[in-house]
Amino acid sequence: MKYITALFVASAALTSAQVVYNETTGTFICPASAPNGAFCAGNSQETNIIIRCTNGVGQPGNCNDNLAGRPPFGVRFSPCFATSPTAGDAACSRK
């Protein structure tokens, strides 16, 4: 029974996994299901930090700064938007 429970918990963690920060190497590891995707560093529309993945390695970015040169010009809250936490389709937006 313990084995089945452990297996269920492990599979649930895999299906809900997004980007993981590796403290030892100081890198963001992206999920194998979207090695070139993009993810919000928190809940969609609540954080301005986006993590863009290239070949499984993530690079954080600040949506506020990324969109400062787009109309309306200036640095203002520009939330990260994603259709789901695991989709890998995050993008910076303006409200």
**Is 21 a residue whose pLDDT tops 90?**
yes
DSSP per-residue string spanning 18-48? --EEETTTTEEEPPTT-TT-EEESSSTTT--
**Is 81 a residue whose pLDDT tops 70?**
yes
pLDDT of residue 17: 53
Cα separation, 42 vs 5, in Å, equals 28
Cα separation, 58 vs 6, in Å, equals 29
pLDDT digit string (tens) for 47-69? Answer: 999 999 999 999 999 999 999 98
Average pLDDT over residues 33-43: 96
Instruction: Record the tokens describing residue 59, joined without a space.
Output: 């690079």
- pTM for the full model? 0.77
Under the banding of pLDDT at 50, 70 and 90, the label for residue 7 is very low
Cα separation, 50 vs 85, in Å, equals 12
